[in-house]
């Protein structure tokens, strides 16, 4: 199925709904009112209904949502009913922190290969046991390990080159932590992570009494 007109913000909110529903089902909740789900997600109930309406009918009038069913459906919509194979490019502090961060595996994202250019690192293993390959072997290792998404935590100057090579071997998704704009072509999609956007949010609220 193709939902070409779904706003990006809806997808981001679905992701937040799924995190909240996971927490709720983990705590044993079976049914949740749209008001409670909305409050927990920081939106209003109408927004949840509108977001879900793109994909079908969910929830029972006067009851709310069946948490487990809704979680299942949202995960299906987002493509999270499978695990995803990730490659990490750059095993500095940030790369190591990402591979070790428990959120990834919890959400079905598994690092299957690691790359660096530092001769002092190549051939060694990360704390997780993942072997660090030289980036020269990118194409061969990425194909062999079945990488589906590339996570870039290299210095800014190396990011575009990695992205180009990933695109060449047909990888369609990149999560970019390098503080640089990656130019994309064809079917490649890049999501940039900029920690400071969240800080701007704090700054605004600390400034506005």
Residues at the site binding a copy of itself, with contacts judged by CB under 8 A: 1-3, 8-9, 11-12, 14-16, 18-19, 23, 42, 77-80, 84, 92-94, 96-98, 100-104, 106-107, 109, 148-149, 153, 172-175, 179, 181, 189, 191, 193-209
Structural contact between residues 20 and 40, judged by C-beta atoms closer than 8 angstroms: yes
What does the alpha-carbon distance between residue 92 and residue 106 come to, in Å, rounded to a whole number? 23
Q: Find the shortest distance in angstroms from Cβ 184 to a copy of itself.
A: 12
Q: Find the shortest distance in angstroms from Cβ 4 to a copy of itself.
A: 8
Q: Find the shortest distance in angstroms from Cβ 141 to a copy of itself.
A: 20
Q: Please identify, using beta-carbon distances, which residue of 16 and 63 lies nearer to a copy of itself.
A: 16
Q: Please identify, using beta-carbon distances, which residue of 63 and 92 lies nearer to a copy of itself.
A: 92
Q: Find the shortest distance in angstroms from Cβ 61 to a copy of itself.
A: 27
Q: Find the shortest distance in angstroms from Cβ 33 to a copy of itself.
A: 20
**Helix segments in the chain, DSSP class H:** 8-26, 34-41, 45-53, 67-78, 93-100, 102-106, 138-145, 156-168, 196-207
Q: Please identify, using beta-carbon distances, which residue of 57 and 102 lies nearer to a copy of itself.
A: 102
Q: Please identify, using beta-carbon distances, which residue of 100 and 131 lies nearer to a copy of itself.
A: 100
Tokens representing 14 are 């679905």
Strand pairing of 31-32 and 65-66? antiparallel
Q: Please identify, using beta-carbon distances, which residue of 16 and 131 lies nearer to a copy of itself.
A: 16
| Burial of residue 165 (number of CB atoms within 10 Å: 0-12, 13-18, 19+) | middle
Instruction: Please choose, from the candidates 135, 130, 141, 98, the residue with its C-alpha nearest in 3D space to the C-alpha of residue 118.
Output: 135
């Amino acid at each position: 199925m193709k939902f070409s007109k779904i706003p990006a913000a809806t997808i981001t909110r679905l992701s937040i709904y799924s995190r909240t529903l996971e927490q709720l089902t983990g705590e044993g909740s079976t049914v949740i009112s749209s008001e409670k789900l909305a409050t927990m997600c920081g939106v209003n109930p109408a927004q949840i209904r509108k977001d879900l309406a793109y994909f079908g009918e969910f929830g029972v009038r006067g009851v709310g949502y069946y948490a487990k069913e809704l979680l299942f459906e949202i995960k299906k919509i987002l493509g999270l009913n499978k695990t995803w194979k990730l490659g990490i490019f750059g095993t500095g502090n940030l790369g190591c922190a990402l591979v070790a961060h428990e959120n990834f595996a919890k959400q079905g994202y598994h690092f299957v290969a690691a790359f660096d250019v530092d001769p002092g690192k190549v051939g060694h293993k990360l704390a997780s046991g993942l072997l660090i390959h030289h980036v020269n072997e990118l194409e061969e290792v990425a194909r062999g390990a079945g990488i589906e998404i590339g996570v870039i935590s290299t210095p800014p100057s190396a990011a575009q080159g990695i992205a180009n090579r990933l695109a060449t071997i047909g990888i369609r998704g990149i999560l970019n932590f390098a503080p640089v704009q990656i130019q994309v072509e064809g079917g490649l999609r890049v999501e940039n992570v900029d920690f400071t956007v969240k800080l701007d949010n704090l700054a605004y609220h600390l400034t506005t009494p």
